[in-house]
Amino acid sequence: MTTAPTPSIFEPARLGPLTLRNRIVKAATFEGVMPRGAVSDDLINFHAEVARGGAAMTTVAYCAVSPGGRVHRDTLVMDERALPGLRRLTDAVHSEGALAAAQIGHAGLVANTLSNKTKTLAPSTRLSPPAMGLVKGATLAELDGVVSDFERAARVAVDAGFDAIEVHLGHNYLLSSFMSPNLNKRHDRYGGSVAKRAEYPRRVIEAVRVAAGSSVAVTAKFNMSDGVPKGLWLDQSLPIAQILEADGHLDAMQLTGGSSLLNGMYFFRGEVPMAEFVASQPKLVGYGLKFYGPKLFPTYPFEEGFFLPFARQFRQALRMPLILLGGINRVDTIEHALDEGFEFVAMARALLRDPQLVNKFQAESVDEGLCIHCNKCMPTIYTGTRCVVRDALVVREAPRPTQ
């Protein structure tokens, strides 16, 4: 019996109908530069820089499928009004030799309804701190409307020149919350058993696949675990993943975990920059964070490739392409992931610290990124997501004005 050789990080690889120039994807990280949802020059430059740095594909996050599905008012809505700016963005990424993905989703319980000035939806009625109040369980008619919103968003993404569409099934956003036993208490076709809780995400993914057509890759960012008591865990997320694989509408899954509603550090790990979080918020919200922040942002020690133990279970159970995410900073971590059968890896914080890191890996000038996992990039999402260490170095190295 022969074993297939481990694929090279830097050889072209297939993702559905696409050919990526290597196996490193820039994961979605909210860019924080979409004032009132506009496609700004800063947003375009953010992704062009990542593409220039060697990543095979960069993911625009977070593209809401409707005004009510925004995280807050400064979130892009994937509709026809955004098309001119989005075309500029995909053109800029393509000119650097990379592909562009659009992450589409509905924030659900994570939506800030005061900022959005419109209501949001949830599987079941419950209190939501991000919504700053009670969110009512969605009616069947409202859920039908959200499916239509996803269809429209997928068509806009294709018209804008995106190569891939990533459906957000993570972090207890709307579709993820339908899968979670502690958030979905419905008694209709969309609640109860594991199969029923998977039904609504399945319906959305099928609608996106049909709307996107065959020339665009469709992937899902998929929660393996919510990281909270009584939430989704592997005993239920693995069967859901198998159901989605059997449906045949996805070209790959990017494996994640955690809850932006209840556990915001599960998918980061490392230091908790609570002082910076408090300073970034309005006074009243910051005051509340001082008391409730430690519960929402518990401390987890950083470990390289921290989702790998969970993701291995999915690699064992599934045949479809999988994208490994979570604390990937080193070449040997990527090589090990490919050796274990993962088709791609996704990087986020490491590329915020050094957008040129993939090129440096390929040139063999470095074998590890410079990210120190301080997570001080997290509070910058309100002013433009960036690495504060890199930001300080850029300021320090700027030329002094002449006298």
Which positions are annotated as active-site residues?
Answer: 173
Say how far apart CA 349 and CA 351 lie, in whole Å: 5
How far CA 25 is from CA of 193, 239, 253, 267, in Å, comes to 34, 26, 12, 17
Say how far apart CA 13 and CA 21 lie, in whole Å: 7
Is residue 92 within 8 A of residue 112, CB to CB? The reply is no
Instruction: Provide CB contacts within 8 A for 139, sequence distance 6+.
Output: none
Residue 382 structure tokens: 């309100």
Is residue 220 within 8 A of residue 166, CB to CB? The reply is yes
